[in-house]
Structure 1
Amino acid sequence: MDADRYARVRDLFLAADELPPDQQEAWVRSNCGGDDSLVQEVMSLLAEHDIDSARAEGERSIDLSQSLAAAGGDAESTPSFPAPSLPPSDDQGTKRGPAKVAGGKPKTRTGSSDTDRGQITRVGAQRTQAVPRYGSGRRTKRGSGGGTMPPPNTVLWVHQTRKARRRNSWWLLLALIIPTCLVGWLTYRNVASLLRKEVQNDLEGLADGLLRSSARFLDNRVQLVESWARAEEVRECVVKLVGIARGDDPVDSLRSAPEIDTIMQQLQYLSGRDDIKFVVWDRTGMTLASWLPDRADVGNPIVQDQANGLAKVFRGQSIIYGPERMVESTEGFVPETDRPVMAPIVPVRDDNGKIIAALLVRGFEMFDDFNQVFSETARVSGTDVYAVNRDGIMVSESPYAVAAARRGDLKVDPDEISAVMRVSEILRADDDDPFSRMVEPLTYAAARASKGRTGMRMTPYESYAGHHVIGAWRWMPRWQLAILVEEPADKAFAAAGIVRFGFLSLGGLLTVAALVTASLIARRSALNEAVLHPLSRYEILGELGSGGMGVVYRARHRQLGRDTALKVLRGDRRSREDQQRFDREARLAATLSSPHCVKIYDYGSSPDGEAYCVMEFLEGLTLYEVVARSGHQTFGRTLFILRQICDAIGEAHGKGLLHRDLKPQNVILSHDAAVGDWAVVFDFGLAKPVDPTGDVFNTSETIWSGTPMYMAPERFRSPESADPRSDIYAIGCIAYFLLSAHPPYAECDPESMFALILNEKPIRMSTHRGESVPPELRELVERSMSKSLERRFQSVSELAEAIDRLRVFYPWTSENADVWWQVHGAEFLDGGNFRPDQIDL
């Protein structure tokens, strides 16, 4: 927009603003001489204008002219880059097509001839932001009587209303809610503590009682078998068998020895059971006698993993075999049952008291009686009780586990739980089987109990069935078994939960009552508070992102229906220096008119100090996302994009401003029907004048500001430096990134990153691409990224000229861009306007 057109728009706007709202549009049309674009610009300004808010904002704002003077320069100082002589094509001339703008509304960009910046950019007047934002369905203009202000609960930043609500409800909080909640909390804590202590005592008492009864049972059974081993007839027969085993050809002699039958008869007599079973081993592990009628196992040695237990017996310690499911531990022995077996193994002594053999006796239902102790305890107490061995294997049949297996909660056979199932957690529901349990971690209680520890846990943990339980465990060191008692957490703390629910319900009802009362009291003032807030004109659609300084929302102007990017200074960044930086970004960006710079629509702050900036909403992908979607870019497209970036940065440099944070994430690429790719530079939060003179730029800087991997070496050496060639280095880094799909430097350690940037060259782009890069293009990137300021391009204008010379040899057309966007960014294209089969690359 030139000066004459601006003056014309201003005069029409000021005159129309004096008229009633329902007469303004007719008057403007009658005075614009049929210029529809002029009508649209004036009506757009009138629709957005609010005289009350403007007056209030003007009283709070700093004189804009001073800030612009501090920024330096004007639109006249924007550098103009000469265009290259491109070969003629069918596309040259004027071309129009639909493109996306904020909110998805169509607009057109007019392509230019080869005399206006190489078919890439257009002057500001051709890309004015005062485009039509309303149609037949637009909202009624303020003051026309056809519309009302949205209710306060639809406005995001109505802090005054919230403050009124807090003031009105504060006395309710002090007088009612806080005392009640405090008393309720103390009462609940005491009740919960008592209930928790009671549950703890019950679990510990149950575990201790089960420990004593189990130990007593095992002691009695072992002592019984020890008495059988001391019987005269049994002991004499064993002594004879040991003697036979030391002679020649012992196997046949042992198998025919009548002493084996004598031992069998004596054990049947002593136990009162005909189905008693026994095995006798000597010190070498040889089987001296057994209950098998064919005596096939006599004379054969025991397997190695069973020999460790015999060593304890020959040291005078009685042990218990199992509970285990028997395997073929000796040649000639075939297990006759698949049920778990539990049997004492006791020493047999000669007349001199020397241990000469080990005796195992089973067949008198020791496992069934042992399992009955746990089953009866579980039935009476209503808890899950079971035993585990050193390996974390459940060695009793837990009624809870059996019931869970029958319901399908445990994917194991109910008859194969004891001495098979490992008490482990269920990390994946589809892996609940015996094999998977062998590699999963043990449950909290089983892991500690199997390591010989005694304790309990009142904090819920996951059981072998995947339920949350609390439990206690005890270790029996003599028998190498652990006792576990577990109870479902919800059952154990059910009483405490009822108390908690009651007090929480009471507190919730009181809180709701206070908030409703406060809201009713504040309702009368809510509408006025919302009207006064400068951001009440915007409807928040969602959060776009956040950074170190602010949060960016997608917002829609309630009257214009225009989508915008609303940036608000974060609540924890409201120091004087942060306010100045935020103010600087808005004011500097507002001074730029390049179509490749983000546009600023509004800026200000609320009475509460909430600084905000309303910007153009950009539809498209950042260069980082472009590379993420399609990898390294073609040579022509890279030059095409760099040329547009140079246009934006060139204008900023012409006004004495440095961006200082150029990177792929701060350049957004959208699809334009006329020229194809359209790049826009944004985020001037770290922008800085070459020669700061105004208060708006008076911020200290003693640390590095920017993104390290795209910062020029001189920025590390002197953070306060302000040299335009630092931005040229960043443009070179962007070129490197587009051509190689990798940043020039990547290092986790900041010190290593700094050392690389200061001293090393980046990896060749051809290495990343897998193909060679033309020497002239490589020279352009290397010169832009030169560590020497003198060797680098001395201005953006010089870099732009170099790019234009190369673009003659590496063209990139709108048709090329159309194909890329159709494949990688179809969501940003206008539907039905593009057919890939019509494009000939």
Structure 2
Amino acid sequence: MNTPTSTQSAKLSIFQRSTSQALELVKSRVWIWPLIAVGLIMVMAFFAQYMVEKQLKREIEDQLTVVLNTVKEGQTRWFADQKKEVLAVASDTRLVAPVSRLSEILANSDDPFVLREEEGQKQIQDVLEPYDDVFEFIAYNVISPEGQVLASNDSYLIGLKVPSYEERPFKRVLNGEVVITHPFRSELPLPDLGKESDPTTRRSQEIMCAAAPIRKADGEIIAVLSMRLDPQDVFCRFLDLAQVGESGETYAFNDEGVMLSSSRFDEELIGMGLLPDQPQVSSMLTLEIRDPGVNMTTGGRPKLKRSEQPLTQMAQSAISRESGVNVEGYSDYRGVPVVGAWMWIEEYDYGLTTELDRDEAYRSLIMLRWIFRGLIGLILVTSVILIIATHFVRKLQKSMAQVVTEFQEMGQYQVMEKIGQGGMGAVYKAQHSLMRRPTAIKTLDPDKAGAEAMARFEREVQLTCRLNHPNTIGIYDYGRTPKGMFYYAMEYIEGITLEDLVKRYGALPEGRVIYLMSQVCGSLLEAHSIGLIHRDIKPANVMVTHRGGQPDMVKVLDFGLVKNLKSADQANLTQEQSILGTPLYMAPEEIESSEHADQRADIYALGAVIYYLLTGRPPFTGTSVSEIIMHQLHTLPDPPSEVSLNKISSEMDKLVLSCLDKNPEKRPESVKELVRSMRRSPAVEAWGYNQAEKWWSENVVFEQLDETDFQQESAQTREVAQTVINYQNRETEPDHLNKT
């Protein structure tokens, strides 16, 4: 059992150790660069957020402006149409006589109601009723210049005087204008509209009027024709169509800040007490557009009476004859923050606005802000973890050194440096511990490679060991490390692959191609003689070196795909209905069925390599493996002489094209025949020992191939390395382990 003293000592020890590690972390300064990176990322994140917000506000502003202008355009066109229609009706000459008679009777009588029984009423009705069917008018009134109703389809109104007549827009009509009013509340009692309404029940109604002067032939104005319109049916139609999203609405209002249309929130307004709870109640001509100072939709109650509350920011600006857009937000008549655009239509004396709840308008921005905050938090957490991890990685480097030491002993070989890395293994430069001979060691990690790759790797060693040709890479030894890492040791060659040779120095002269490829053929001749085909001949698998006093000496590498024509178990090492090799240099029969490929597949690949050396590019190119395969199967290559800038003999042209023939029967029967055919070229004597020695003395190849170049070129080569392609679906899967 721990005593209090021992417990305190343990806690003190932990505290001291933690403090020591923290101080060590601070002193190491590993946190400086991550901190700078975090700062830069945060600045970039905030700048990106600012730009996104700015763009979103611009889009919202454009959307509001477009909606507002569209509604305004629709309403003004409709107003113009109504003016034309009422003017056409008022210009009907059949109205002049009965209206004149009714005016005379009214002037000579003390009782204006005698007009109700006059024959002129029937005559006017017969003229105007057909127009009701054509246009959107629901009632008509003929009014004298003094404001007395001379005729109407509502007999109750005949003889009545229109209150405040001089203040109404009808005075403008007496001056010869055609006028259409915005919605207003009638001062004379009118019956409700609709078939089910009681005609005896009358009340003040929300109406609109289109009015035009009735003139005599000499142009004298004798009366005003006023046609009644239903604002709910026509005026509000455009506004209702402009409702955006869940909360957007477009509405009109007069210069007193009273709404001239219906709100989409009438039911909510009743619950808030802004509208009376009565049947058929509407916000039209009832609701004042005032700012309550609180959000009433969330239960807030204003401190001021409705009459004392100021008009909303939008209403004040519009009534001042200002147009504007506000995407930052202001309170509407419910106290809800909204964004909006507004204008004042001077010709018809009313304001128009479109508004959208700010929360809905910026819903995506709110989500984006949370995402940004989450990313910044993640970056901060990741940075802290990275700093701590970096600190501990340094401490682990010592223990990692022990692992490296374990790796450095592979049998009798000591690893010096890594010279290549694949997906499932690596290639190291090493030396024999006793003989000190430079060696290349190729490894395969069993944890990363599957059983098939392991089998192919081991088969490569076993088959390559049977080859003794000086132009074939030599195998010294193979085995496993204590950790199960499979490896084999082979010749270490300082040189350059044919692929890199062409990339660095361009297409080769025909004589040098013959000189180099004759050695490649010599290597393959031995393999073919014992029933082996390489199946992956390509420029990246052929290395040129200056070795043992011999310039332009060739070494054929990578027998990882070699096929034993005498083995019955060969099919077990490849996938069913699949092909192995590099598509740029693969024979058509290998693509169609790798099971039936023989040594003539290598001859096809040799022809493709010769083509590459002569022209600087493969016979076929494409943007995808599938495209290259289709060329290999169906396209005839251009003769090398038509592609290369170098001079190429007709004999070489014919030989290359025969090697690349789609029909294996038409290719050279063997590499021996291929060599004989190459030697018939007139350029066969153009390149030899002296020319090769001169070239190597003028081109310091090894100094150019530093480690960085090797890694870059190795990565490029791996992209077109051994490929397993399912012929049915054209999928490709690179195997990076066939690189030496």
TM range (shorter): 0.3 to 0.5
The TM-score normalised by the length of structure 2 is 0.43
The TM-score normalised by the length of structure 1 is 0.39
